[in-house]
Amino acid sequence: MAVDVCPKVLIHRPRAQVAAFMFDPANDLRWTGGITASSPAQPGLLVTGATVERRARFLGRSFTYGYVVTKHEPDRLVELRVERPFPMTVRYELADAEDGTDVAIHATGRPGWFFRWATPLMARQVHKNIAADLKRLRACLEN
């Protein structure tokens, strides 16, 4: 069984402005919940091949994990490959909307042996966490 969630939000700002904020790891702590540190290997916006190491808490556990950007389309898309807490692909997707930018975070993956028994719980928790991240992102950009 796989986790496959895609929460969305409308942000009342132009796509380029949303991308400049969202695709810059220097802003991770402002809008990504559960993150206690974010250390990009190089400064600036996420591009293909970029790597970032994060410290986080998820389901009561603390851990360090890294991600690599596997795909990038300027001001439209960043795709990340994450191995912890379980192997997952996360896509930040931006699209023009009449009143701003439609923002989606699409996360897919298959929990490993430790989390496999709890996949339905994991899917709900991942969806809840990403939806909360999107609300924080909107608040950062609209306030």
Instruction: Put residue 142 in one of left, alpha, beta given phi > 0 → left and psi -120 to 50 → alpha.
Output: alpha
How far apart, in Å, are the Cα atoms of 126 and each of 3, 41, 105? Answer: 8, 26, 11
Residue-wise DSSP of 53-106: EEEEEETTEEEEEEEEEEEEETTTEEEEEE-SSS-EEEEEEEEEETTEEEEEEE
Domain ranges of the chain: 3-142
Question: Cα–Cα distance between 85 and 21 in angstroms, integer?
Answer: 25
At 88-122, the pLDDT tens digits run 899 999 999 999 999 999 999 876 655 555 666 77
What's the CATH fold of domain 3-142? Alpha-D-Glucose-1,6-Bisphosphate; Chain A, domain 4 (3.30.530)
Stretch 68-73: mean pLDDT: 98
Lowest mean pLDDT among 9-18, 26-35, 53-62: 53-62
